[in-house]
A and B are shown apart, each in its own frame.
Chain A
Amino acid sequence: MTTPELVSSGPVIPVPHRVSAIRRETRDTFTVDLRPPDGLPVESFAPGQFNMLYAFGIGEAAISISGDPGRRGFVTHTVREVGAVTTWLGRLGAGADVGVRGPFGRGWPVAEAAGRDVVLIAGGIGFAPLRSLIYELLAHRDLYGRIGLLYGARTPGDVLFRGELEEWSKSGWVDVHVSVDRATESWRGHVGVVTTLLRNLVFDPAETIAFVCGPEIMMRFAAAELLRCEVAPGAIHVALERNMQCGIGLCGHCQIGPAFVCRDGPVFSYDVVEPWLAVEEL
Chain B
Amino acid sequence: MVDAAALEALPSLLRARGYRVVGPVERGGAIVLDELASWDDLPRGTTVELGPGAYRLRKRPDEALFGYVVGPQSAKTWLHPPAVLEFRAERSRGRVTVVAEPADPSPVALVGLRPCDLAAIRVHDHVLGDGPVADPRYRSHRGAAFLIVVDCAEPAATCFCASMGTGPSATGGFDLALNELLDEDGHRFVIEAATDAGAEVLGALATRPVPLDDEVRVEAAHERARMAMGRRLDPGRARDVLRNAVESPAWSEVGDACLGCANCTMVCPTCFCTTVEDVTDLTGDHAERWRRWDSCFTFQFSRLSSGPVRTSTAARYRHWLRHKLETWHEQFGESGCVGCGRCITWCPVGIDLTEEVARLESATPESGDVA
Contact = CB atoms under 8 A, between A and B. Distances in A.
Interface string B90-123: 1110111111100000000000000000000000
A249 B274 CA distance: 11
Interface stretch (B53-61, B163-171, B297-305): B297-305
A263 B132 contact: yes
Contacts of B284: 57
Contacts of A263: 132-133
Given A2-B97, A7-B97, A249-B132, A281 B327 contact: no
Interface centre among B100, B128, B309 (most CB of A within 10 A): B309
B91 A56 contact: yes
Interface string B258-280: 00000000000000111110111
Contact of A243 (B247, B287, B304, B312): B304
A7 B98 contact: yes
A13 B95 contact: no
A238 to B, nearest CB: 15
A279 B247 contact: yes
B89 A253 contact: no
Interface centre among A83, A248, A281 (most CB of B within 10 A): A281
A252 B273 contact: yes
Contacts of B132: 248-249, 263
A217 to B, nearest CB: 10
Nearest to A253: B301
B222 interface: no
A255 B319 contact: yes
A10 B294 contact: no
A250 interface: yes
Interface residues of A, number: 47
Interface centre among A11, A95, A246 (most CB of B within 10 A): A246
B246 interface: yes
Contact of A13 (B86, B133, B310): B86
A14 to B, nearest CB: 6
Contact of B327 (A80, A83, A257, A280): A257
A216 to B, nearest CB: 9
A251 interface: yes
Interface string B280-313: 1000100100000010100001111110011110
Contact of A249 (B86, B100, B133): B133
Interface string A1-43: 1100011101111111000000000000000000000000000
B132 to A, nearest CB: 7
A59 interface: yes
A14 B275 CA distance: 16
Top 3 nearest A-B pairs (CB, nearest first) are: A252-B273, A57-B280, A281-B315
25 contacts: A2-B97, A14-B89, A15-B98, A56-B91, A56-B96, A56-B280, A57-B284, A59-B276, A59-B278, A97-B91, A97-B94, A99-B89, A99-B96, A242-B309, A243-B301, A245-B276, A246-B274, A246-B276, A248-B132, A250-B131, A250-B133, A255-B296, A256-B309, A281-B309, A282-B315
